Amino acid sequence: MEDFIRDDIIEQTLDRARNPEPSRVRDVIGKALELQGLTPGEAAVLLQCEDPELTGEILEAAHRVKLEIYGNRLVIFAPLYISNYCSNNCLYCGFRRDNTELKRRSLTLEEIADEVMALEREGHKRILMLCGEHPGMSPLDYFIEAIETVYATTTEKGGEIRRINVEIAPMSVEDFRRLKAAKIGTYVLFQETYHHETYRRMHPVGPKADFLWRLTAQDRAMQAGIDDVGIGALFGLYDYKYEVIGLLHHALHLDETYGVGPHTISVPRLEPALNAPAAIQPPSPVSDDDFKKLVAVIRLSVPYTGMILSTREPAELRSVVFDLGISQISAGSRTNPGGYRKGDSNDFRAAQFNLGDTRTLDEVIYDITQRGHIPSFCTACYRLGRVGKNFMDLAKPGLIQKYCRTNAILTFAEYLADYASPETKKAGDALVDRLVAETEEKAMRELLEERVQAVRGGAHDLYI
Ligand code: SAM
Ligand code: SF4
């Protein structure tokens, strides 16, 4: 496949948009508010705007778009790391081959089941499963067995993982078909940087040194029939404005080629990691203000694409960017394989990177409900076949908002009944009651009243 990322074109796009007139910035904001998305050139105008007042207007517009399309829901998941062996040597990652101080392990299937039980007993229903790239220690056969183990592991009170998204190294179309057959949700992969020269420097050896093989992974996944794919850039490796335009080109490429863009865009930012020089001193650090702006510009540019924020970021900043366009968040995370079982913490000597938000799931849920968000553990769309283009066709006329709000309320009520601390339960139940009462459509309100009562009486897994 051809390389569809052209450094010269991205640079020209950014150059042409330098020092934009305020009227031009406001025109672009106006277009974004119509929910039609933005071209890379228009996104560049917003990225190049350095005026604090206009930047405030960009953030405000992103907040409006987020509310209009997603409401104030936040879908919750946890990462599950099953192996930290890796044959690559990415200069920013604690799992890199040359980090001889890292405590390496690949979990056995029994250990994976233990991790899953710990996650279920916290209340998780969705996970993102990951590992390093190592043909000997984490081959695809092992990964597929791990998926089967996760789905088969259940606990009391309806504890089960209902959706597994995966984030693993690129593979052939044939192997992607096997992954699809294992019933994964979204296939996620970050390009790390869209800047070829920086990519070459950061990935000196191993299979990951091949920029194009990585760039075209989502294509092969889609050719293999995987409907939902996620993209992302690791912010801090190269100029953040360049990376945003790179992400938009990637999204456009998928949309133009397969009739549907990426399901999600992730916005990880570099965190310190053991013996990882590029993580300890990021080559192009991104300030908190720039981070807010980049989240807002992505939200305005691809309004129907979910945006994921992990626990790399500290709690305070997380709560600000939730409002600017984030729709999915991880919570209560560990990045060291085996980290969820009782007694283990995010052991820096086995972890991929440091965490900025180390709160438990219950603490995060309490905090976000206090800030007016609705936590959602919903997995309905994928199980009902509302995926890929089908999902987007429903999302655009606003239908998804109706399903998602209802399912968020039901899955949140289930979490509160089964796992919440007394304080979270009290605050959460009050929020659920208020949301049900505020439901405008009478038939939907009555359905919700009835189902919330059923959930409180012990029913599980209700969704529409
Ligand atoms: N090994 C596979 C890969 O590289 O795609 C699977 C995913 S890897 C475990 C998850 C992601 O973590 C990487 O794609 C990278 O963007 C991110 N990551 C690595 N080191 C990081 C760091 N120091 N801070 C923040 N994110 C990091
Ligand atoms: Fe390995 Fe992925 Fe870490 Fe690179 S980012 S060293 S491929 S685990």
Ligand nearest to the CA of 308: 1
Summarize the confidence of residues 46-72 as an average pLDDT: 96
pLDDT grade, residue 355 (50/70/90)? confident
- Any residues with CB less than 8 A from the CB of 19 and at least 6 apart, and which? 48
The fraction of the chain above a pLDDT of 90, given in percent, is 85
For residue 189 and ligand 2, the question of a CB distance below 6 A is answered with: no
The fraction of the chain above a pLDDT of 70, given in percent, is 98
Which mutation among 85, 167, 235 tests ligand 1's pocket best, with the greatest number of atoms within 8 A of CB? 167
Question: pTM here?
Answer: 0.96
pLDDT grade, residue 437 (50/70/90)? very high
- What whole-number distance in Å separates Cα of residue 166 and Cα of residue 143? 10
- The rounded Å distance from CA 94 to ligand 2 centre is 8
Give backbone dihedrals phi and psi of 460, rounded to 5 degrees, phi first. Answer: -130, 155
Ligand nearest to the CA of 207: 2
List the single range of 173-177, 341-345, 454-458 with lowest mean pLDDT: 341-345
For residue 170 and ligand 2, the question of a CB distance below 6 A is answered with: no
- Any residues with CB less than 8 A from the CB of 74 and at least 6 apart, and which? 322, 326, 327, 328, 329, 368, 373, 374, 375, 376
Inform me whether the pLDDT recorded for 79 exceeds 60: yes
- What whole-number distance in Å separates Cα of residue 47 and Cα of residue 10? 13
User: Residue 443 carries which side chain, given as an amino acid letter?
Assistant: A
Mind listing the pLDDT tens digit for each residue in 103-156?
999 999 999 999 999 999 999 999 999 999 999 999 999 999 999 999 999 999
Give backbone dihedrals phi and psi of 80, rounded to 5 degrees, phi first. Answer: -125, 110
For residue 97 and ligand 1, the question of a CB distance below 6 A is answered with: no
Inform me whether the pLDDT recorded for 187 exceeds 60: yes
Its CATH class, for the domain covering 71-377, is alpha beta
Return the pLDDT at 404. Answer: 87
Long-range contacts of 6-14 (CB under 8 A, 24+ apart): 7/195, 7/196, 7/197, 10/40, 10/194, 10/242, 10/245, 10/246, 10/249, 11/242, 13/40, 13/41, 13/44, 13/245, 14/44, 14/47, 14/48, 14/241, 14/242, 14/245
Give the position, in ligand 2's atom list, of the atom nearest the Cα of 84.
Answer: 8
Inform me whether the pLDDT recorded for 198 exceeds 70: yes
- What whole-number distance in Å separates Cα of residue 300 and Cα of residue 33? 8
Summarize the confidence of residues 320-342 as an average pLDDT: 91
pLDDT grade, residue 400 (50/70/90)? low
- What whole-number distance in Å separates Cα of residue 87 and Cα of residue 245? 30
Closest CA to 66 of 238, 305, 284: 305
Tokens of 233: 């850039």
Give the position, in ligand 1's atom list, of the atom nearest the Cα of 232.
Answer: 16
Domain residue extents for the chain: 7-66, 71-377, 397-456
- What letters, b where the CB count within 10 A reaches 16 and e where it falls short, cover 61-92? bbbebbeebbbbbbbbbbbbbbbbbbbbbbbb
- The rounded Å distance from CA 216 to ligand 2 centre is 18
pLDDT grade, residue 346 (50/70/90)? low
- What whole-number distance in Å separates Cα of residue 57 and Cα of residue 50? 12
- For ligand 1, atom 21, the nearest C-alpha belongs to 93
Q: Residue holding tokens 């999204």?
A: 251
Return the pLDDT at 389. Answer: 77
Return the pLDDT at 343. Answer: 55
Summarize the confidence of residues 417-446 as an average pLDDT: 95
Mind listing the pLDDT tens digit for each residue in 248-269?
999 999 999 999 999 999 999 9
For residue 274 and ligand 1, the question of a CB distance below 6 A is answered with: no
pLDDT grade, residue 394 (50/70/90)? confident
- What whole-number distance in Å separates Cα of residue 204 and Cα of residue 188? 22
Give the position, in ligand 2's atom list, of the atom nearest the Cα of 89.
Answer: 6
For residue 234 and ligand 1, the question of a CB distance below 6 A is answered with: yes
Tokens of 34: 């119509």
Give the H/E segment covering residue 279. Answer: helix 277-280
Return the pLDDT at 321. Answer: 95
- For ligand 2, atom 4, the nearest C-alpha belongs to 90
Ligand nearest to the CA of 170: 1
For residue 90 and ligand 2, the question of a CB distance below 6 A is answered with: yes
Return the pLDDT at 87. Answer: 96
